Protein backbone atom coordinates (compact mmCIF):
# COMPACT_ATOMS: atom_id res chain seq x y z
CA UNK A 1 0.00 0.00 0.00
CA UNK A 2 1.39 3.40 -0.99
CA UNK A 3 2.29 5.83 1.77
CA UNK A 4 1.66 8.92 -0.36
CA UNK A 5 -1.55 9.93 -2.02
CA UNK A 6 -4.06 12.58 -2.87
CA UNK A 7 -7.81 12.75 -2.30
CA UNK A 8 -10.30 15.20 -3.78
CA UNK A 9 -13.89 16.21 -3.41
CA UNK A 10 -15.96 18.80 -5.25
CA UNK A 11 -19.01 20.63 -3.90
CA UNK A 12 -21.32 22.96 -5.82
CA UNK A 13 -22.12 26.28 -4.16
CA UNK A 14 -24.91 28.76 -4.77
CA UNK A 15 -23.19 31.76 -3.17
CA UNK A 16 -20.72 33.70 -5.29
CA UNK A 17 -17.18 32.40 -5.58
CA UNK A 18 -15.82 35.76 -4.43
CA UNK A 19 -17.86 35.76 -1.21
CA UNK A 20 -16.96 32.14 -0.48
CA UNK A 21 -13.24 32.68 -1.09
CA UNK A 22 -13.19 35.92 0.91
CA UNK A 23 -14.84 34.35 3.94
CA UNK A 24 -12.17 31.64 4.00
CA UNK A 25 -9.42 34.21 3.43
CA UNK A 26 -10.42 37.08 5.70
CA UNK A 27 -13.11 35.78 8.08
CA UNK A 28 -12.25 32.13 8.74
CA UNK A 29 -12.60 32.95 12.45
CA UNK A 30 -16.40 32.80 11.87
CA UNK A 31 -16.27 29.04 11.19
CA UNK A 32 -16.86 28.06 14.85
CA UNK A 33 -20.21 29.89 14.62
CA UNK A 34 -21.03 28.73 11.08
CA UNK A 35 -20.14 25.06 11.57
CA UNK A 36 -19.87 24.49 15.32
CA UNK A 37 -20.41 20.74 15.04
CA UNK A 38 -16.97 20.49 13.37
CA UNK A 39 -14.98 23.63 14.27
CA UNK A 40 -14.87 24.74 17.90
CA UNK A 41 -12.15 27.40 17.79
CA UNK A 42 -9.52 29.03 15.58
CA UNK A 43 -6.75 31.07 17.18
CA UNK A 44 -4.39 33.30 15.25
CA UNK A 45 -0.78 32.64 16.31
CA UNK A 46 1.26 34.62 13.73
CA UNK A 47 0.43 37.33 11.21
CA UNK A 48 -3.02 38.63 10.37
CA UNK A 49 -6.00 36.51 9.36
CA UNK A 50 -5.67 37.40 5.67
CA UNK A 51 -1.83 37.30 5.44
CA UNK A 52 0.20 34.80 3.47
CA UNK A 53 2.10 32.78 6.03
CA UNK A 54 -0.34 33.40 8.89
CA UNK A 55 -0.30 30.59 11.45
CA UNK A 56 -3.52 29.41 13.10
CA UNK A 57 -4.40 26.78 15.67
CA UNK A 58 -7.68 24.98 15.00
CA UNK A 59 -9.74 22.98 17.52
CA UNK A 60 -12.15 20.66 15.76
CA UNK A 61 -14.17 17.46 16.05
CA UNK A 62 -13.76 14.59 13.60
CA UNK A 63 -15.42 11.20 13.96
CA UNK A 64 -16.42 12.12 17.53
CA UNK A 65 -12.86 12.98 18.59
CA UNK A 66 -11.72 16.42 19.74
CA UNK A 67 -8.52 17.31 17.86
CA UNK A 68 -6.19 20.23 17.21
CA UNK A 69 -4.01 21.24 14.30
CA UNK A 70 -1.63 24.14 13.71
CA UNK A 71 -1.39 25.28 10.10
CA UNK A 72 0.28 27.88 7.94
CA UNK A 73 -1.83 29.34 5.14
CA UNK A 74 -1.05 30.81 1.71
CA UNK A 75 -3.37 32.52 -0.73
CA UNK A 76 -3.45 32.65 -4.53
CA UNK A 77 -5.86 35.53 -5.09
CA UNK A 78 -5.86 35.30 -8.89
CA UNK A 79 -6.88 31.63 -8.94
CA UNK A 80 -8.93 31.72 -5.70
CA UNK A 81 -6.82 29.01 -4.07
CA UNK A 82 -6.09 28.70 -0.35
CA UNK A 83 -3.45 26.21 0.80
CA UNK A 84 -3.13 24.96 4.38
CA UNK A 85 0.23 23.45 5.36
CA UNK A 86 -0.01 21.35 8.51
CA UNK A 87 2.72 22.12 11.06
CA UNK A 88 1.70 20.45 14.33
CA UNK A 89 -1.15 18.72 16.09
CA UNK A 90 -3.05 15.47 15.96
CA UNK A 91 -2.63 15.03 12.20
CA UNK A 92 1.15 14.63 12.49
CA UNK A 93 0.60 11.46 14.54
CA UNK A 94 -0.54 9.73 11.33
CA UNK A 95 0.89 11.87 8.52
CA UNK A 96 4.41 13.11 7.75
CA UNK A 97 2.89 15.48 5.18
CA UNK A 98 -0.64 16.85 5.01
CA UNK A 99 -1.49 19.75 2.74
CA UNK A 100 -5.09 20.83 2.07
CA UNK A 101 -6.15 23.13 -0.78
CA UNK A 102 -9.43 24.87 -1.51
CA UNK A 103 -9.95 26.07 -5.08
CA UNK A 104 -13.08 28.14 -5.66
CA UNK A 105 -14.23 28.10 -9.29
CA UNK A 106 -16.97 30.56 -10.26
CA UNK A 107 -19.68 29.69 -12.75
CA UNK A 108 -19.40 31.62 -16.01
CA UNK A 109 -22.50 33.69 -15.22
CA UNK A 110 -21.04 34.71 -11.83
CA UNK A 111 -23.77 32.94 -9.86
CA UNK A 112 -22.53 30.10 -7.73
CA UNK A 113 -19.67 27.84 -8.59
CA UNK A 114 -17.71 24.84 -7.46
CA UNK A 115 -15.38 24.35 -4.50
CA UNK A 116 -12.69 21.75 -5.07
CA UNK A 117 -10.85 20.39 -2.01
CA UNK A 118 -7.60 18.49 -2.50
CA UNK A 119 -5.49 16.87 0.21
CA UNK A 120 -1.98 15.63 -0.53
CA UNK A 121 -0.55 13.41 2.18
CA UNK A 122 2.20 11.05 3.23
CA UNK A 123 1.26 8.51 5.90
CA UNK A 124 3.72 7.45 8.60
CA UNK A 125 2.85 3.78 7.97
CA UNK A 126 0.79 1.62 5.65
CA UNK A 127 -1.56 0.85 8.56
CA UNK A 128 -2.99 4.38 8.35
CA UNK A 129 -5.94 4.87 6.01
CA UNK A 130 -6.51 7.69 3.54
CA UNK A 131 -7.91 10.88 5.12
CA UNK A 132 -11.44 10.26 3.82
CA UNK A 133 -13.06 11.60 7.02
CA UNK A 134 -11.39 14.94 6.37
CA UNK A 135 -12.94 15.08 2.91
CA UNK A 136 -16.38 14.40 4.40
CA UNK A 137 -15.78 17.23 6.87
CA UNK A 138 -14.62 19.52 4.03
CA UNK A 139 -17.88 18.85 2.17
CA UNK A 140 -19.90 19.67 5.29
CA UNK A 141 -17.91 22.86 5.95
CA UNK A 142 -18.43 23.95 2.34
CA UNK A 143 -22.19 23.42 2.59
CA UNK A 144 -22.36 25.21 5.95
CA UNK A 145 -20.41 28.23 4.67
CA UNK A 146 -22.49 28.36 1.49
CA UNK A 147 -25.76 28.31 3.48
CA UNK A 148 -24.40 31.00 5.82
CA UNK A 149 -23.48 33.26 2.89
CA UNK A 150 -26.87 32.77 1.26
CA UNK A 151 -28.71 33.64 4.49
CA UNK A 152 -26.69 36.79 5.30
The predicted model scores a pTM of 0.94
Measured distance CA(100)–CA(27) in Å, rounded:
18
DSSP E strands: which ranges in 17-94?
A: 39-46, 55-62, 65-76, 81-89
Span 97-147, pLDDT tens digits: 999 999 999 999 888 999 999 999 999 999 999 999 999 999 999 999 999
- In this prediction, residues 17-46 reach a mean pLDDT of 97
Average pLDDT, the chain: 96
47 φ, ψ (degrees, to nearest 5): 80, -165
pLDDT at residue 152 tops 90: no
Residue ranges and CATH numbers for the domains of the chain are: 4-151 (3.30.530.20)
Angstrom distance (rounded) from CA 64 to CA 38: 9
pLDDT score recorded for residue 128: 94
Amino acid sequence: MALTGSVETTVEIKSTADKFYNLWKTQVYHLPTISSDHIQNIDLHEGEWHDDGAVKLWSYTLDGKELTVKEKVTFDEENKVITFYILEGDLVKDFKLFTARIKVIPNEDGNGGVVKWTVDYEKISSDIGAPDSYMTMAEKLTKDVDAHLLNN
